[in-house]
Amino acid sequence: MNTLVYNMARSGFITMPYPEKDCSGSVVVVTGANSGLGREASRHFVRLGAAKVILGCRNLDKGEEAKKDIEETTGKSGIVEVWQLDMASFESVREFAARVDKLDRLDILVDNASLLIFTREMIEGHESTLTVNVISTFLLTMLVLPIMRRTATKFNLIPHIVVVSSDAATASPLPERESENIFKALDAKTDVLERYNVSKMMQVMITAKLAEAVDASGKGHIIVNCLHPGFCGTQLFRRFPFPFNLIFKLLTALFARTAEMGSRTLLVAAFAGDDTHGRFMFDAKLHEPPRIMQGDEGEKLTQRVWDELVEILEGIVPGVTNNI
C-alpha cells in the first residue's frame, strides 16, 4: 500500500513522452473512449493521422460529444466514429466485434474501458467488475484477433493490443487462490472492496498468457501488452463513497496527472516493440509483474486464472479461443 501511495504522489510530477509517430492509414479501436484516458488517446491517434478511430462507448450521446470535441481540437473530421459498446453485455461485445470484423483493417485495439464500484452487482452471471474489466475485455480481444491477423498479412505490419491496467494490480494478495475455482469464489464474495485491484491483477496475468498463446499458435505475430497510466484525474473514481470521494478529490488536485498526460502512456504501448510483448509497463517503461505472479507458484496461479477465463469465454462464444 505504501508503494501505491508513493506512486500516486509522484504521478503528477513526471512528464510522459509526447506521441509523435505517424499513424497514417491506421485503424484504431479505443474502448471506454467518451472521456478521460480513452478520449485523450483517441485525440492523439487522430492528430497523428489515423485513417479511422472508433470510439467504443456505452453512452452514444457522450460518445458523440467526445467526437465533436476531438474534431474541433484537431481540425480533422470524418475520422472519428462512435460505435455502441456496453462491456456489461456479452451480446453487445459480440455485436461490436462483428462490426469490427467487417472493416478492411484493425491496427490497434486499446482495451481501456474499466469499472470501479463498491457495491456488489451480478452482471452476465458474474460480479460486475470481473464481467467488465476481465471477461468482456478479453472476449472482445479474442473476437477481433482474426481481423488483426488479416491486417498483419495484408499490410505487412505488427498490430498491437493494449490493455489499460493499473498499479492496483500489485495490491491484492488474492486469498481466493486457495479456492477450487478463483472466478467462482470471487463471484460469491459479498465484499468487493478489493475487486478492482483483483481485476487489474488478472489483466496483467491474462496479458502475459495471451501473448504466450499468440506466439504458440504460429498464426502471425501481434504485440500484446498492458500498462499502468499513472494516477490520473479522470472519472474513474466518481463512484467512491463518502468520505473517500472527498479524499480522492484532494489527492487528485495535489498529485494527479491530467488525462492527456496519462493517455500518452497508452500511445507508447500502442507503438512499442517486441520487448513489451506480454509485459507490464509503468510510466511508459517496462516494469516487473506483480509479485504474486513471480516464481513457480506465481506461474501456476497465472496459468489457473488463464485456464478459468478460457473456460468462461468458451461458454459465452464456443470456439472463440481458437481465434488465438
Enter the C-alpha cell of residue 315. Answer: 461458454
Q: Give the integer Cα–Cα distance in Å for 267 and 19.
A: 6
C-alpha atoms less than 13 angstroms from C-alpha of 131 in its C-beta half-sphere = 20
Nearest to 109 by CA among 220, 1, 270: 270
Rounded to 5 degrees, φ, ψ at 224 are: -120, 120
Mapped onto helix, strand or coil, the DSSP state of residue 258 is coil
Quote the distance between the C-alpha of residue 171 and its chain's center. Answer: 18
CB 289 within 8 A of CB 208: yes
Establish whether 285 is a catalytic residue.
Answer: no
Enter the C-alpha cell of residue 197. Answer: 485491484
Nearest to 216 by CA among 144, 324, 128: 324
Nearest to 160 by CA among 211, 103, 206: 211
Q: Tell the burial category of 66 from Cβ atoms under 10 Å away from its Cβ (0-12, 13-18, 19+).
A: buried
Catalytic hit among 26, 114, 165, 199: 165
Establish whether 196 is a catalytic residue.
Answer: yes
CB 225 within 8 A of CB 163: yes
Q: Tell the burial category of 308 from Cβ atoms under 10 Å away from its Cβ (0-12, 13-18, 19+).
A: middle
Catalytic hit among 52, 67, 200, 209: 200
Residues with Cβ within 8 Å of 314's Cβ and at least 6 positions away in sequence, in order, are 320, 321
Q: Give the integer Cα–Cα distance in Å for 226 and 200.
A: 10
Beta strand residue intervals within 112-172, DSSP E: 122-123, 126-127, 160-164
Establish whether 18 is a catalytic residue.
Answer: no
CB 264 within 8 A of CB 18: yes
Catalytic hit among 196, 199, 209, 263: 196
- What amino acid positions are annotated as catalytic residues? 165, 196, 200
